[in-house]
Amino acid sequence: MKVCCLSACLVAAACAVAHAGSGDTQKLLDFYANQAKATDSAFGGFSAERGESLFRSNSTGGKPDTPSCTVCHTKDPRNVGQTRAGKDIDPMAVSANPQRYTDQEKAEKWFGRNCRNVLGRECTAREKGDFITFMLTQ
C-alpha cells in the first residue's frame, strides 16, 4: 500500500515536471508544499489521486448552487467549462491550458473563492497542491 502510494506520488511528480514546462508551476507547488510541511510534519508530497477525488467529490458544506467543482468545470477538466452566469471557463487541465497554475496570486484568489463556494471552508495547502498535481496529469 505504501509502495503503491509512493509510486503514485512519484508518477505524479514525474508527470508534473513533464507537463509543467514552466518553473512558475513548480514554484507554486513548492509554495504549497512549504505551507503543508509547516502545518503537518508528516506531509509526504502531493497526490494526483487525492486531487482527483477532491475535484469530483460532492460537498454539502458550501453554497447550494455549487456542490462540486464539476458543476462549472465539467467532469473532464480538459473541457471548457461554464460559469453559472453563462461565461466560458478555460480548461483546468494543464494539457489543455498551459497558463493554469503559473500565477500564485490568481491561484490563491480562485482557491479562496471556490473552496468557500464548494466546501464552505478554506482549502488546506495540501489540498491545493493535490488539486494542481491532478490537473498536471490531465
Asked if residue 82 binds another protein (CB under 8 A), the reply is yes
60, 86, 107, 132: which one contacts another protein (CB under 8 A)?
Answer: 86
Tell me whether residue 4 or residue 65 sits nearer to another protein (CB atom).
65
Residue 134 CB partners (closer than 8 Å, separation 6+) = 12, 48, 49, 50, 51, 52, 54, 55, 77
3, 4, 42, 65: which one contacts another protein (CB under 8 A)?
Answer: 65
- If you ran DSSP here, which 8-state letter would residue 20 be given? H
> Residue 39: how many CA atoms within 13 Å on its side-chain side?
9
Least Å distance, CB 114 to another protein, is: 8
Q: How far apart are CA 86 and CA 96, in angstroms?
A: 20
Asked if residue 84 binds another protein (CB under 8 A), the reply is yes
Asked if residue 85 binds another protein (CB under 8 A), the reply is yes
Tell me whether residue 47 or residue 66 sits nearer to another protein (CB atom).
66
CB 32 within 8 A of CB 129: yes
Least Å distance, CB 39 to another protein, is: 23
Grid cell, residue 23, equals 518553473
- If you ran DSSP here, which 8-state letter would residue 47 be given? -
Least Å distance, CB 108 to another protein, is: 10
Interface ranges with another protein (CB under 8 A): 63-66, 82-87, 112-114, 116-117
